Chains A and B, each alone.
Chain A
Amino acid sequence: EDKVVQSPLSLVVHEGDTVTLNCSYEVTNFRSLLWYKQEKKAPTFLFMLTSSGIEKKSGRLSSILDKKELFSILNITATQTGDSAVYLCAPGSNFGNEKLTFGTGTRLTIIP
């Protein structure tokens, strides 16, 4: 059975701080890991990582995948109140075209 563990479960920081969110996984035939941001209901896509050691960047957000140690991290620098959300990771075996197993997420709260 596929397993996804995210940590911490929740995190409260001040605006401007840098945060690191963790995702460890055990997935049969792993091929990709997706990160989503969920502010209210609909998760919105952030990154898809497929190769170990590749760092994806989008502005203040970056993510790294370690396929040997089976984990990924999501970094957010210079946090803003708009970063407050639940961050979900989902490893998969078909580059997103499959049922995804999501972690329970990390609830990030940015204090102004």
Chain B
Amino acid sequence: GAGVSQSPSNKVTEKGKDVELRCDPISGHTALYWYRQSLGQGLEFLIYFQGNSAPDKSGLPSDRFSAERTGGSVSTLTIQRTQQEDSAVYLCASSSGLVRNEQFFGPGTRLTVL
């Protein structure tokens, strides 16, 4: 079946602009995660959605970052007033939410803030 998809694959924006990144999880997966990976760094957790529960936003680096998940499926990560340090690859993952299961990652969106 189809895996996790993300769009756009690449985004170049100017400092101060807002951007929206989209994630389509695997159909039926109740859990959705956003991570970012800066150059040469490991994956940094941003936010986690599980079913209808309140999202775990503990990894969001500032109030310029927000995310929503509509209808328990598609998720959008929004970065307002982008800064150069926001440049990174933003990865989305989903999992079935069952006990003992792995997270499946999308191809990511490479964000470059000029």
| Chain A interface (Cβ < 8 Å from any Cβ of B) | 4, 32, 34, 36, 40-45, 48, 50, 88, 90, 95-105
Contacts and interface: CB of A to CB of B under 8 A. Distances in A.
Nearest to A101: B45
A103 B42 contact: yes
A50 B100 contact: yes
A88 to B, nearest CB: 7
B52 to A, nearest CB: 15
Interface of B: 4, 31, 33, 35, 40-45, 48, 50, 56, 58-59, 89, 91, 95, 97-108, 110
A96 B102 contact: yes
B102 A41 contact: no
Chain B facing A: main interface SS: loop
B45 A96 contact: no
21 contacts: A4-B42, A32-B100, A34-B102, A41-B91, A41-B108, A42-B4, A42-B106, A42-B108, A43-B43, A45-B103, A45-B104, A48-B100, A48-B102, A90-B43, A95-B99, A95-B101, A96-B100, A96-B103, A97-B97, A99-B33, A100-B43
Which of A88, A95, A97 has most B Cβ within 10 Å? A97
Chain A facing B: main interface SS: loop
